[in-house]
Chains A and B, each alone.
Chain A
Amino acid sequence: MIGLNHYLILSGLLFSIGLVGVLRRKNLLMLFFATEVMLNAANIAFAAASHFYGDLTGQMFAFFIVAVAASEVAVGLGLLIVLYKKQGTLDLDDLATMKG
């Protein structure tokens, strides 16, 4: 029988994968992909818990996470565009004028 734990573990694994992506990616666009992975991992957990409690709140949360993800993409891409116009690259190693 597949229980909540199975889903949660899956979610945890995906979350970790997303984290790895966020931590290692140097290309901003690809880094954003990884954040999507993390949010999706959370969504799975919500949907699963929602299912096993028979409660819709989790689905609601997942729903809003999707909305947030979409908004973030819009703003994030907007930022990337201005940055790209100025810098010509999305490599975040080049993004270090301010430090110390």
Chain B
Amino acid sequence: MYEQIAFYLFSVLTVGLFLVTVLSSNILYAMTSLAAGMVLISGLFFLLGADFLGVVQLIVYVGAVMALYAFAMMFFDASKEIKEKNTSSSLVFLLGGLMAVLLVLMFAAPILGENIQASYPPEVGATNPQAVGLVLFTKYLIPFEVAAVMLLVAMIAGIVLAGKKMDESLTTMDDEEVTLQKDKK
């Protein structure tokens, strides 16, 4: 019973919050509601027994990602009301609406397969983080490592792109300018 109440509560709230995120013209509202929606989603994860995922959601999304966005927002001086031109395209809402209708249609079907053997059921007696850890470090070790590489790439990319060296472009400089600049150093 409480599960139902929680689900509907969380659902309505997330939908509402995300609607604010995509519709609000104030970036601060948008970001805040996004963060709040993500918190609620972690609540859904807990509801589904995915404790570890819920925690990750909280830490990574709400903690890290949102913090990054916050910094970015400050960097871009975007805290003030943002004026977006030509946003009220009816096509967008038509597409979104159609998408919603179609997805609902699709998901309203008895999608849950019967007689499907779970490939990686949680280890008996393990808590959710333990079970996740077991699968993650056996079956999904490789994706895990690749994800590490991916994060490394992201890090390098972030550093390189945001770095000072990007301020001057060798691409558009003539050869003389390039040597001149080198000499300056």
Bound-state CA distance A72–B112 (Å) is 31
Contact flags (1/0) for A63-100 with B, using CB distance below 8 Å? Answer: 11011111111110111111011000011010000000
> Are A29 and B93 CB-contacts (below 8 A) given A16-B100, A66-B57?
no
Interchain residue pairs with CB less than 8 A apart (13): A3-B112, A8-B107, A9-B107, A10-B15, A12-B100, A12-B104, A51-B49, A59-B132, A67-B151, A75-B153, A82-B162, A85-B167, A91-B84
| Nearest 5 A/B pairs, CB to CB | A21-B22, A12-B103, A78-B161, A20-B96, A55-B118
Residues of B within 8 A of A12 (CB): 100, 103-104, 106-107
- Chain A nearest CB from B185 CB (Å) reads 21
* B173 in contact (CB, < 8 A): no
> Interface range on chain B: under 10, 10 to 19, 20 to 34, or 35 or more?
35 or more
Which chain B residue shows the least CB distance to A52?
A: B112
- Chain A nearest CB from B112 CB (Å) reads 5
Bound-state CA distance A55–B118 (Å) is 5
Q: Are A19 and B158 in contact (CB under 8 A)?
A: no
Secondary structure call for the A interface = helix
Bound-state CA distance A2–B11 (Å) is 12
Residues of A within 8 A of B136 (CB): 60, 63
Bound-state CA distance A2–B166 (Å) is 52
Q: Are B86 and A33 in contact (CB under 8 A)?
A: no
Contact flags (1/0) for A33-58 with B, using CB distance below 8 Å? Answer: 11011001001100111111111110
Q: Are A40 and B132 in contact (CB under 8 A)?
A: no
Contact flags (1/0) for B42-75 with A, using CB distance below 8 Å? Answer: 0011001110110011001100110011001101
Q: Are B78 and A27 in contact (CB under 8 A)?
A: yes
* B36 in contact (CB, < 8 A): no
Q: Are A55 and B30 in contact (CB under 8 A)?
A: no
Residues of A within 8 A of B31 (CB): 33
Contact of B99 among A16, A30, A67, A79 (CB under 8 A): A16
Bound-state CA distance A60–B137 (Å) is 11
Residues of A within 8 A of B48 (CB): 7, 47-48, 50-51
Residues of B within 8 A of A5 (CB): 107-112
